[in-house]
Structure 1
Amino acid sequence: MALEPNALSSEQEAWLQEAVTHTSSGLNPHHEQLEFLGDAVLRLTASEFIAAAYPKMPVGERSSLRAQLVSDRWLAELGAILEIERWWRIGPKASSDSTAAATIRAELSEALIGAVYRIAGTAAVQHWLTPHWTRSAEAVLTDPHRGNSKSALQEWSQGQGLGLPTYSSNEISQRHGDPRRFHCTVTLPPNLKAEGWGSSRRDAEQQAARTVLDQLEGD
């Protein structure tokens, strides 16, 4: 992170501590206000990164790429890279729920972005996140489906004259952050069918669509 710990004031250190204090801990102040700020900062700085790195990219493609670079999944991966659990303060119930870990990483990572912005501004956020965005953007742009398997499957099915895929999703668990909370089945005529799981309905549908695409690529 683009901050020198020894150069921080007590107030700035308090912001960092607030960012890694989850609401489940029962402590105040907690991460929510910084998470709200971090959400806005993340979208702005990600937009600036894309404009600088890919100046000729059409606006529609920029929006799709930005959606990947500000997603909860991306934030959770950032939290894992930072090993944010070494510093977080969470409640006993949350700490015993392994399925909630990714969600908590995402929330606290976004709060940490808000804290860095408060301490040093957007330039520091850009300096910190650019290497992570660079790796993620390259991965997305080299993916033939650009991280959106549902859209890719729809384009393929319409090109084959098969109409639109049919998705059927059910909530299996009510545990927040459970990676198997939602189950989805996608079908396409004449006999294409696949399943997917995810912590959200959207994630389950994306996984199911990706499974179909993998089947098609394997044929």
Structure 2
Amino acid sequence: MDPFRAAELSDLIQRLDAEIPIDPKLLDLVDQALTHVSSGRTRNLERLEFLGDAVLRLAATEFIDRHHTDLAVGACSNLRAQLVSDRWLAEVGETLGIEQHLLLGRHAQGDRSAQSRLRADATEALIGALYSALGDLETIHRWLTPHWRATAQAVLATPHQFNGKTSLQEWSQGQGLGLPDYSTEECSHQHGDPERFLCRVSIHNKELAEAKGRSRKEAEQNAAAGALQALEGSDAPQASQ
């Protein structure tokens, strides 16, 4: 590995956790984790991203088990979904400036709409690289726990902003209005485009909100959150008598 690249990656690892011992195996795996498929290189982040996905879910589950023992199982599942989401991974990657260390092909370099997706993939692969090199979850916990604490606090304080579909469904059924109706269309075919999907949500034939997202799921969640905000400030639809 190029000495400049090795020094750059060593600095990145130390910013994650100063206690991590730097050795050639770890540097090699981190280099692989930060090599995108578009680079054309055989050793890229794909397999480490696959590993990192499983490691992240297990570590996030342990975090919830350690720090949120009072939550019901359903609430634990909802919280974990936020602690392992692509949006959350992209935010963690952004705090690291991870895109500065990514080896990308020319097409990926020019695709600014995919930057969030690239940060999320690389962060997940970096988790896989650390676990593969060090063989335990404690380093993952030391790195990610501060991020998880902040996200968990926000999720538990304002759950409708993070799990709007469930909250909206509970409200509409409690009012005897049945289930919310989501109508979602694909507006572009650009992977990672934050406005790729447009969703409109209605209850009892009254449209309440519309929102966009990178995926159908994200667009629906955003629309549900918008509907809940609209319901707080206007007359809600009523069940027919």
- CA shift, 1:193, in A, is 2.7
Q: Which residue of 174, 180, 187 corresponds with 1:172?
A: 187
- The one of 60, 72, 83 equivalent to 1:58 is 72
Q: Say what the alpha-carbon RMSD is for the aligned residues.
A: 1.4
| Residue of structure 2 aligned with 1:156, choices 154, 162, 171 | 171
User: Any gaps of 5 or more consecutive residues in structure 2?
Assistant: 1-15, 235-241
Report the counterpart of residue 73 of structure 1 in structure 2: 87
CA contact (8 A) 1:72 1:103 kept: yes
- TM-score, normalization by structure 1: 0.95
Change (3 A) 1:185 1:24: same
Contact 1:20 1:112 (C-alpha < 8 Å) held by counterparts: yes
173, 182, 185: which one aligns with 2:197: 182
Which segments of structure 1 move beyond 6 Å, counting only runs of 4 or more? none
Q: For residues 68-217 of structure 1, what are the structure 2 equivalents within 5 Å? A: 68-120=82-134, 121-145=136-160, 147-189=162-204, 191-217=206-232
Query: Which residue does the alignment assign to 2:63?
Result: 49
Further displaced range: 37-46 or 116-125: 116-125
Q: Distance in 1 between matches of 2:158 and 2:101?
A: 34
Q: Using the alignment, how far apart are the partners of 2:206 and 2:216 within structure 1?
A: 23
**Greater CA radius of gyration, 1 or 2?**
2
Distance 2:141 2:19 in 1: 16
Tell me if the contact between 1:184 and 1:204 (Cα under 8 Å) persists in the aligned partners: yes
- The total of aligned residue pairs comes to 218
- Look up the match of 1:8: 22
Structure 1: where are the runs of 5+ without partners?
Answer: none
Task: Tell me how far apart the structure 2 counterparts of residues 190 and 178 of structure 1 sit (CA, whole Å).
Answer: 30
* Aligned amino acid, residue 38 of structure 1: G
SS in structure 2 of the partner of residue 163 of structure 1 = coil
Deviation at 1:164, TM superposition (A): 1.1
Paired residue secondary structure (1:195)? strand
